[in-house]
Chains A and B, each alone.
Chain A
Amino acid sequence: MTDRELAEKAVRLCQKRGAEQAEALLIHQEEKAAGVFDQEVQIDGETATAHAILRIFRDNRGAVIHGNVSSEELLESLVNQAFAILQDTSPDKYLGPADRSEVGAFAGDLQIYDEQLARIPLNRMKEIALAAEQAVKQQDSRTEHLITTNLQVQTETVNLHTSEGFADSYQNTVATLVISAVMDTYAAPMARLNPDDHKRNLVGTATAVTRSLDGLDVAKTAERTVQRLTRMIGARSSPAGEVPVLFSPLAARGIASMLLQLCSGPASLFIEAATLGKVGEAICSPQLTLVDDATKAKGIGSIPFDHEGVKPTRKMVIEKGVLQGYLLNSYYARALRRHSTGNAIASGDARFGVRHSNAYIEAGQSDPNDLVADLKRGLLVTRFLSYSMALSNNFTQAAEGFWIEDGKLSHPVRAAAIVAPLHEMLKNIVAVGRDLDADAAIASPTLLVSKMNVSPLI
């Protein structure tokens, strides 16, 4: 029985048992991985998993069952159990499948499946991982011994069948290359405080994610690894004070990620909606426009339909500082009296979850080099050290980067605390760089915040 037939059968079974609506999502994943350390292949692996998510609705109640499906008997067991637990949930008027008027698949070719990548032999993956290690060594011989590369290729086949008449499938591929390099000649002596910050182990890591084999740029990833490894040589404390803070594209992704979290259906319903503001209100600087685009060709987050069968769209989340809407699935759309934005992701919760697709802060007009040159004093943040807690009145993070003095990068900063009230920080974004690299699932250009409180952490 094909996956499509299995999904169709699952939905029929659910309806036969008494579901008012039912959905069957079948996901086949094949993953291959190759890991290399010190020119030796350490691990190669392949996994093949099949996962089914059944969602049923009756009397405004919903239940989800998920599990491996390898036989029709198993499928019947899954269906039986779904009804057994349905009675344990409370009625919720917002529960239900996607609105019929919103379901559908993207008409064009999103180019998210690469046959060459799907069929890549493990031996070829090992060659690429070894080549990545060589590429790092060629860039910087100091990393002779401590380089790890991991290449993972995932091929996914998704089938969705719903009682409302939606039946479609797609395949996608994604390759992830991670290179880590450690500078061992700077090994730190132990057990005593060492004021000389040159003498620390340094590590640089870069990740490349792409939909196709041709899109995998080993040399560029190796270059980024070495850049991140070597830029912190000589790092020391930052001065303290209220100064402008520049966020590099990598660091600014964290700000984009936080905004996405706060502009999603679950956050808007269950956390104080006033965290940012209401739709139609200015919630941040007019320099900032945040877009979520599920229709981007070869986009890491692109999908022809979401997990409820809703057609994906390109949407403005924030336009010139004004909140335009939230990322929504059908449940949160009904709760907020809006339309689904096609951002549903299946979860163990009958409401399903919400995820972004290809999200980015639009590029501005400023040259990032000019932004540095125009600052008498400031901090350029290249990486956040702490994990983000978006649900707070304040933006509080630990970060590393470079101190800026008289328009130039003065010295690397190992760890600084950067703090500002969240609302103020967002409103004080006074410049946006033109250096947007939108290849990642979340991307941002350089951002300049006019003032934040900076203090040394080390």
Chain B
Amino acid sequence: MADSKFSRRNFLQVGLGASAGFALWELYRLGISNKINRNTASLRAFNEIGLDQGQLRKLLDTALAGGGEYADIFLENSLSSYIAFDGEQFQNSGLECVSGAAVRVTSRGCTSFRAVSDLSWESLAQAAREAGASARAGVRVQMPELKPLQVPNLYPCAAPALFESMSEKKRIVSRVVESAKNAYQYVHFALANYRDTLRFLTVATSDGISAYDTQPFLKIIISVAAFNPDSGKKGLGFFNGGGHYGLEYFKEHSPERLGQRAAQIARSQLEAVEAPSGQLPVVLGPAYSGVLMHEAVGHGLEADFNLKGYSTYSGRIGEIVASPLCTIYDDGRRAGLNGSINFDDEGVASSRTLLIERGRLVGYMHSRETGAKMKLPLTGNGRRQAFNYPPLPRMTNTYLEKGETPHDEIIRSVKSGIYAPAFAGGSVNITTGDFTFVPIEAYLIENGRLTAPLANVMLLGNGPELLNRVTMVGDDLEISDNLWECGKQGQMIPVTVGTPTIKVETMTVGGGFKT
């Protein structure tokens, strides 16, 4: 870093001496004023904010001093910048810094957890002592030396967006809003929210892992409201994009496309007719319909629910749970995607986990706790929203593998049914498998052709039953580049979903006035 006025050594000294949070602000200040080399290699050199290997080892020793089978340290520093534009004003501009650490100790099936935002050594040592205090004596592990975790980098980010000029970000949100407003005459309000984040993680575990990660991230969300004063109809459209990218994301995913897509969704609602209801064939479009897999199946395959027997898939490994056309993965190793991670928040390398293979249930997604209790290999799915939450088994990028049928052929196969290409989200009862979804865009299929857009469509069903009724799977797998946020026990984490076009022989469609 010949052009840097602030050497890495200085930086780490400042960081360790004055707390990692201060160092993070300094990094930001230097970055936006162009005083450091912004490329990823340099940033990785700044990974080690706060604690070195010796200090991590000391904390782990302290945590296990009273006994305990396992301990880990999680250190997080992140900085986010954001801005919004509504066509007239740039608003909601700010910065958010999150920094803190958590210490966990596991002993005889129980986990003790302490999290602090005070990153002074005294505070961290106290947290380690308290986490270890609940461990029952007599169980003491011999800790190996900490070795750095070596994993490929899945974040293809040329330069973190956090360090780019705000004027460039303002241009982007302006383009999104302009294109939304120009796309349809009845759009009367459009709002683009932009946010980027740079997150530094340190994980150290008593089984000898030290892992450092720098996670760049950006997201953009466009909301559009349309209103036709003649008909009195209203429509709302939402769309978003982003992932582990810098601003180069917008070269491949133009801001104009984002705005136009949101406007199109709002438009479909204004022009929609009432949806029919009853048991109907439903064709789910590629990419975004993967949220059904996520909700209807994915949550039920998170191992903590199965460990407790709560899931509708509990105790079913090896059984046929879906049509033979269905093969489902959770894959944290896809470069750049919203849910992708180099390693999970427990220091376990992410992986591509086969969950359902040609209809047969073959695996769950594990955290360290569930893997240990169920005596199964770890899958790199132990994730947490932030340092002050305990890790849980969570999804990453969950998708249905592609089939062989062209999309058009699937549509043509339906005499009377629904085509739903876009969803905002849904909810599921893990125990029964029942789910509900409200597509934000849906169309009537009549005699093999898409005809009218539909309003008030509600899809309800049961996860295992849905998978059994899949009769056609398209050759057009797409992983959504939408930014999905998954909620579980009050924790939100980024994920994504994917699917090819699929036909479900019948689903319950409700919500319209026509029966």
State the A residues within 8 Å of B (CB). 31, 37-38, 40-51, 63-68, 70-71, 73-74, 77-78, 80-82, 84-86, 88-90, 92, 122, 145-146, 148, 180, 182, 184, 188, 190-193, 200-203, 240, 270-272, 275, 348-351, 385-387, 389, 391-394, 396, 398, 414-415, 417, 419, 453, 455-458
B244 at the A/B interface (Cβ < 8 Å)?
no
Interchain Cβ contacts within 8 Å, total number: 253
Give the interface of B toward A (CB within 8 A). 18-19, 21-22, 25-26, 28-29, 32, 81-84, 88-100, 102, 109-120, 130, 134, 166-167, 170, 189, 191, 225, 227, 233-234, 236, 277, 308-310, 312-313, 316, 319-322, 388, 390, 425-427, 429, 431-434, 436, 438, 455-456, 458, 460-462, 464-465, 468, 508, 510-513, 515
CB pair A398 B112 closer than 8 Å: no
Q: A145 to B115: give the CA distance in the assembly, Å.
A: 31
- Do B310 and A90 touch (CB < 8 A)? no
Given known contacts A73-B19, A203-B432, A349-B84, what 17 new A-B pairs fall within 8 Å (CB)? A47-B115, A50-B118, A66-B94, A66-B97, A68-B97, A70-B19, A74-B22, A188-B312, A190-B312, A203-B431, A270-B225, A385-B434, A385-B460, A386-B460, A394-B456, A398-B436, A417-B460
A122 to chain B minimum Cβ distance, whole angstroms, is 8
Give Cα distance in the complex from A192 to B316, angstroms.
Answer: 14
Cross-chain contact B277 with A49 (CB below 8 angstroms): no
- The answer for the CA separation of A49 and B510 in the assembled complex, in Å, is 45
Asked if A77 and B22 make an inter-chain contact with CB atoms under 8 angstroms apart, the answer reads: yes
Contact between B91 and A350, CB atoms less than 8 A apart: yes
Most buried by A among B82, B96, B189: B96
A137 vs chain B, min Cβ distance (A): 16
Cα(A89)–Cα(B166), bound, Å: 10
In the assembly, what is the distance between CA of A192 and CA of B310, in Å? 19
In the complex, which of the residues B309, B431, B515 has the most CB atoms of chain A within 10 Å of its own CB atom? B431
> Is B456 in contact with A457, judged by CB distance below 8 angstroms?
no
> Nearest chain-B residue to A123 (Cβ)?
B134
Q: A190-B319, A203-B429, A419-B511 are known contacts. Are A70 and B464 too (CB-CB below 8 A)?
A: no
Report, nearest first, the 7 A-B pairs whose CB atoms are least far apart: A67-B97, A417-B510, A45-B113, A77-B25, A47-B115, A90-B89, A203-B431
* Interchain CB contact (< 8 A) of B458 among A37, A42, A188, A417: A417
Q: Given that A44-B134, A77-B22, A201-B431 are known contacts, is A146 also in contact with B310, CB under 8 Å in the complex?
A: yes
The CA of A456 and the CA of B225, in the complex, are separated in Å by 31
Taking the closest CB of chain A, its distance from the CB of B369, in whole angstroms, is 8
Contact B93–A89 (Cβ < 8 Å): yes
Instruction: Report chain B residues within 8 Å CB of A78.
Output: 25, 97
Complex Cα spacing A68 to B308, Å: 36
CA distance A453 to B95 in the complex (A): 47
Nearest CB in chain A to that of B120: its residue = A70
Quick check: B510 and A89 within 8 Å, CB to CB?
no
17 A-B residue pairs with CB within 8 Å: A40-B110, A43-B113, A49-B115, A65-B94, A73-B18, A85-B93, A88-B93, A145-B309, A202-B431, A203-B429, A272-B234, A392-B234, A396-B438, A419-B511, A455-B277, A455-B515, A458-B462
- Using known A-B contacts A67-B21, A393-B233, determine if residue A89 contacts B90 with beta carbons closer than 8 Å: yes
Which residue of the partner chain A has the closest CB to B507? Answer: A457
A392 to B114, alpha carbons, bound, how many Å?
43
Residues of A contacting B319 in the complex (Cβ-Cβ under 8 angstroms)? 190-191
Most buried by B among A71, A85, A190, A202: A190
List chain B residues, Cβ under 8 A from A349: 84, 91-92, 94
- Looking across the interface, which residue of chain A has its beta carbon closest to that of B79? A67
Pairwise interchain contact B22-A71, C-beta atoms closer than 8 A: yes
Set of chain A residues within 8 Å of B89, measured between Cβ atoms = 89-90, 92
Q: Is the CB of A77 within 8 A of B427?
A: no
Shortest CB-to-CB span from B444 to chain A, Å, is 17
Q: In whole angstroms, how far apart are the Cα atoms of A457 and B84 in the complex? A: 39
B432 contacts A200, C-beta separation under 8 Å: yes
Q: Which residues of A contact B116 (CB under 8 A)?
A: 47-49
C-alpha spacing A191/B320, complex, angstroms: 6
Complex contact B321–A389 (CB within 8 A): no
B118 near A393 (CB under 8 angstroms)? no
Q: A65-B94, A71-B19, A455-B510 are in contact. Are A51 and B460 (CB under 8 A)?
A: no
Q: Are A63 and B100 in contact (CB under 8 A)?
A: no
